[in-house]
Amino acid sequence: MKESLVNKLSDRTALIAIIGLGYVGLPLALRYLEVGYRVLGLDSDQSKVDQLMSGQSYIKHIPSGPVRDYVQQGRFRAEIDFSAVNDADALILCVPTPLDDHREPDLSYVIASIEEVLPFLRPGQIVSLESTTYPGTTDEELMPRIESAGFKVGKDIFLVYSPEREDPGNQNFNTRNIPRVCGGTTPACLEAGKALYGQVIDQVIPVSSTRTAEAVKLMENIFRSVNIALVNEMKTAFMPMDIDIFEVIRAASTKPFGYMPFYPGPGLGGHCIPIDPFYLTWKAREYDVATRFIELAGEINTSMPYFVVQRAAEVLNEQGKPLKDSRVLLLGLSYKPEVDDDRESPSYRIMELLEKKGALTHYHDPFIPEIRPSRKYSFFAGRKSSPLQNDGYDLYILCTAHNEYKAVDPAKLNGPILDTRGIFPDNPGKVYKA
């Protein structure tokens, strides 16, 4: 069984099913297509499926041309009918793993996906989970469900965990050249996992178990979260001393050893760093382990939108204006430059806090012409990007360092600008830092 699967994966005759066609799933699908596989894309969002089948990419930094070509060639199809996985040799789950309202792991998308495909599984398939989660998820949630359907993991079905590593908009790293960690439930599972990813990714790094692979992903993003929290805290300490944290970081970065630059901002964004640390803190409580350092970093990072709003009130007060009824334009909704990815963007929290204090908020983002529906900020859905021009705004808040904003001359703006990313040079009375 394993040998047949490995052979199909190795000679690229296997049909790859990817469940979840978002910022992780769609680039992965295109990579498998690029090297010659056939790919079945499954997503519960009919509008995504319709766009893909018409040859259109709905992610700005992913071109439509390849999608159109693969659809026309008959090597790629997208569906919402999960029964089609019966034809697939490999099933890769790339679905969201958010936090719930109590900051506890929400595995509903993962569980719903595995339960939806369960009736259509067959012997000789490999199932890979890529969604970020806590150690033990693959063993505790996926394996029992698969075996309850009458399969033996490691003999009939091969189960692995291989955490996604995507950096949307990064021109230097992509699905192919970012090394991929993979852990299997059994040695046979790991062998099948290496065959699954070895054809499309330059370097596959095997680890001893799915729990280890799950922990690797958390380690990577907790490392970033803690270090970002450190520079955010240092920023708030240096500011009253009239020290520019960005100048400090630039100078410290000249040290050729023992230092790695991290940068402060208005809060954390993206699907990983604001969420992943809390997956570990939740799981650690099961073992009576207190993860105080991680939790403190989370508190600091989630407090940054409040700090920005406080600074906004101080800047307006210096101009002789109250925050209430002031017109504020936020520059940037996406969580990072040059992409249309606004997941967990701190800009939304800043807008919400400003409006609660009576400010009249607008936003501009060249990558997000209209705010899309989301679970957390559905009340902003449909709001459109305002023109970036001298239009009587009392304050501008730079939240995302898009290239377009780097060309802005703050002196030509009607009001002062609050720079949370350190892209503008000092200009007393016109440029303020947050």
pLDDT in tens, the chain (434 residues): 889 999 999 999 999 999 999 999 999 999 999 999 999 999 999 999 999 999 999 988 899 999 999 999 999 999 999 999 999 999 999 999 998 888 889 999 999 999 999 999 999 999 999 999 999 999 999 999 999 999 999 999 999 999 999 887 788 899 999 999 999 999 999 999 999 999 999 999 999 999 999 999 999 999 999 999 999 999 999 999 999 999 999 999 999 999 999 999 999 998 788 888 999 999 999 999 999 999 999 999 999 999 999 999 999 999 999 999 999 999 999 999 999 999 999 999 999 999 999 999 999 999 999 999 888 898 999 999 999 876 789 999 999 999 999 999 998 898 999 999 999 998 888 999 99
Residue 95 lies in a domain: yes
Residue 285 lies in a domain: yes
110 & 11 share domain? yes
Q: How many domains does the chain have?
A: 2
Residue 214 lies in a domain: no
Q: Which of 208, 236, 265 is the last residue of a domain?
A: 208
C-alpha to C-alpha distance for 284 and 278, rounded to whole angstroms: 10
233 & 194 share domain? no
115 & 157 share domain? yes
Pairing, β 15-19 against β 125-129:
unpaired
In angstroms, how far is CA 72 from the centroid of its own chain? 30
237 & 203 share domain? no
- Closest to 271 (Cα-Cα) out of 106, 96, 138: 96
43 token code pair: 């997503």
- Closest to 232 (Cα-Cα) out of 217, 251, 245: 245
202 & 275 share domain? no
CA distances from 128 to 17, 70, 110, 211, 273 (A): 10, 23, 11, 13, 22
Q: Which of 173, 208, 243 is the last residue of a domain?
A: 208
User: Half-sphere exposure of residue 212, counting CA atoms within 13 Å on the CB side?
Assistant: 12
CA distances from 212 to 24, 182, 209, 363 (A): 21, 9, 5, 42
Q: Give the dihedral sign, CA 2/134/167/50.
A: positive
Catalytic residue among 182, 189, 272, 399: 272
Examine the residue annotation and report whether 94 is marked as an active-site residue of this protein: no
244 token code pair: 């520019």
pLDDT of residue 392: 85
In angstroms, how far is CA 56 from the centroid of its own chain? 22
260 & 204 share domain? no
Residue 358 lies in a domain: yes
Residue 420 lies in a domain: yes
Instruction: Give the structural domain span for 301.
Output: 228-433
6 & 111 share domain? yes
pLDDT of residue 433: 95
193 & 249 share domain? no
Residue 215 lies in a domain: no
pLDDT of residue 112: 96
Residue 240: CB partners within 8 Å, gap ≥ 6? none
Q: What is the CA radius of gyration of the chain?
A: 23
CA distances from 300 to 33, 237, 252, 275, 361 (A): 42, 13, 22, 14, 25
CATH code of residue 422: 3.40.50.720
C-alpha to C-alpha distance for 263 and 423, rounded to whole angstroms: 12
- What 8-state DSSP symbol labels residue 6? H
66 & 96 share domain? yes
40 & 186 share domain? yes
Pairing, β 157-161 against β 180-184:
antiparallel
169 & 50 share domain? yes
pTM metric for this prediction: 0.92
- Closest to 42 (Cα-Cα) out of 60, 62, 16, 67: 16
Residue 216 lies in a domain: no
pLDDT of residue 160: 98
Residue 414 lies in a domain: yes
266 & 120 share domain? no
